[in-house]
Amino acid sequence: MADGARDAVVEVAKHMGKSLAVSKNAADDMMRVLSRYEGEAPMFPLSHPEVDQAEEEEVFAAAEDIIRRCNSVSSPSEMVDYLYAVDDAIAATALQGELASRAAETVQAAMPRLEEEVRALLGSSARRLSLDSFEDLDDAGAATTPDGSPPRRDALSPEAAASASGVADRMLRAGYGPELAQVYVAVRRDALAESASHLGVEAVAIEEVLRMEWGVLNQRIRRWSHAVRAVVKTLLAGERRLCDEVFASDEELGHECFADVARGCLLQLIGFADAVAMSTPATEKLYRMLGMYEALTAVEPDIESLFTGDARDFFSSEVAGVAAQLGSTIRHTIDQFVNVIHGESSRRPVLGGEIHPMTRYVLNYCGLLAECRVTLDMVLADNNTSNHDTNDDDHDGGGGGGASSTPSGRCMREILTHLLRNLDEKSRLYDDAGLKNIFLMNNIYYIVQKMMVEFPALRELLGDDWVRRHRGQIRQYETGYLRASWMSVLASLRDDASPAAAHGHGGRAALKEKARSFNAAFEELYRSQTAWKVTDPQLREELRIAVSERLIPAYRSFVGRSRQLLESGSSSGRHSSSAAKHIKYSLEDLEDYMLDFFEGVQKFVR
């Protein structure tokens, strides 16, 4: 095939593709394209070049007429004809002489209409994305498709994007790239800002963030952490695809336009995170700041892939810088948290030996942090957060490898070591050794049970060795309580007299004294220890059983010996009444009274 014929066929194909991109009536348009070029693109070169020139002038004249008289386009088919006319006018600018000048003027006259059309197409937004479109706010940032990728959302409908691409191609071929870029950036920047505003992204001055009350700031951070993922992974990804389609014939200009579209929205997001990172460290912010750090690091790869050249370097540097500042603030906050635990020095003991409020707060806080252990590991990896030597602390159960040897595992052990050390100090506020052991038992049992039931991630970080060690401590404190509270009581029930002395008058007197001593001691324990509180029902029952297993057999033996001695050798019943007088409680009485122990409500023996 001759070169002229081949070029003609290629030109027909180009016109067909572009026309189909801007029209829904593909079949009709194809017929129109073919009919326009019927006879105009001969398969062989014409023998008379002047005939070609005449035909070119005729084609341009028709195109010029359409462009000059068409101020507005009211239907898709009219738009297709208008774009054909622009194509012909652009082609005519390559001719010689006056025709080329007229063609250039005609193309220039067509540009305002094309700008108007591309502006309208670019402004026809797709479905808005908002946090309310997710069933649960907490799922917004994590929403994915079945294959694990973020949900795809196109910036425009496929039809509008294809039409905009067709118009943009004419403007680029005509040399009106700067005008196209100006329109494109203005329209898509506003559209992106509107979509981002529905996600809660708005401009906030650093000073305003620093002055915000925590309740307000907490909600802002929560929304931000979801919005930054949605903006980068969904909105900007859609804008990137649109930009690539519209600027397919000028990729470099497309990269510049995309960067200009995204700049304002991204800098708002980065600026808010930077302001939070600059705010005063506070423990209540720690969990939310970890969420921000996680969100920023999650979008860093997307920033790298969405942008090119200087824009990629700039935005990647900004995101990395803010993430580093957040990491520094998080580490400083953790150090501050450890110091607060270490320095908590209230001198007022908790009534009844109950769980100390500090224990509840620290455990719940560590449980939340443990859920962020992957992010916490990233934050702590570059820096040794633990500035305190806890390796020789009696409460440090050791790492044991695995998750417990990670930066977050070491951090959790350090925090809990300081907590347990402080609890040891606070246990010394109790004058009663038994209550001291109850206090320590309550608190350590609470810690271990929380890990086992509610915070498995925290248990994993601390390791099974740590858990076993502190379970053993609970048993030690139970033994310490029994020894401190019941040793003297049980001693009063022991038979420590010789057989001969036990059956004499002195033996009966000793038994009476032992009975009186036991009664007084038990009543005092009942009065005081019904006011003590063992918070966990299971632990409370286990402790009652431990007491009963020692008390009831000893008391049964004592009662048996006492009645045998006091009633022996007498038929008058005088000694029998004496036994009843001194043996004040039955075994059933003691068992019933034990049910009142450790309930936190003081009672007296009836």
Cβ-in-10-Å burial (0-12, 13-18, 19+) of 182 comes to: middle
pLDDT range class, residue 56, cuts 50, 70, 90:
confident
Helix ranges restricted to H, 432-497: 433-453, 456-462, 464-491
Confidence at 376, pLDDT banded by 50, 70, 90: very high
Averaged over 94-104, what is the pLDDT?
86
Compute CA distances 86 → 9, 34, 65, 92, 111, whole Å.
Answer: 19, 17, 11, 10, 9
- Whole-number Cα distances in Å, 197 to 231, 235, 289: 10, 12, 22
- Tell me: pLDDT of 8 over 50: no
Q: What is the pLDDT of residue 10?
A: 42
Instruction: Out of 11-25, 114-128, 156-170, 473-487, pick the least confident.
Output: 11-25
Asked whether residue 225 carries a pLDDT value surpassing 90, the answer given is yes
Give the SS3 label for residue 533: strand
- For the stretch 272-317, pLDDT in tens is 999 999 999 999 999 999 999 999 999 999 999 999 999 999 999 9
Structure confidence at residue 132 (pLDDT) = 53
User: Who has greater pLDDT, 271 or 403?
Assistant: 271
What is the predicted pLDDT for the residue at 451? 94
pLDDT of 23 over the 60 cut = no
pTM: 0.78
Q: How far apart are CA 589 and CA 172, in angstroms?
A: 100
Range in 106-120, 334-348, 391-405 with the lowest mean pLDDT: 391-405
At 515 the pLDDT is 86
Please name which of 381, 386, 389 lies closest in space to residue 407, comparing C-alpha atoms.
381
- What one-character DSSP code corresponds to residue 279? S
User: Which of 67, 77, 68, 16 shows the shortest CA–CA distance to 41?
Assistant: 16
The domains of the chain are located at 3-113, 131-324, 344-473, 492-594
Q: Report pLDDT for 34.
A: 43
Q: pLDDT at position 239, please?
A: 96
CA distances (Å), 474 to each of 435, 449, 532, 600, in order?
14, 11, 17, 20
Residue 432, classed as helix, strand or coil, is coil
**Of 95-104, 454-463, 466-475, 521-530, the least confident:** 95-104
Per-residue confidence band for 71, with pLDDT thresholds at 50, 70 and 90: low
DSSP 599: B
Residue 46 is classified by DSSP as -
pLDDT band at residue 148 using 50, 70 and 90 as cut-offs? low
What is the fold, at CATH topology level, of the domain defined by 492-594?
Answer: Monooxygenase (1.20.1280)
Mean pLDDT of 190-200: 92
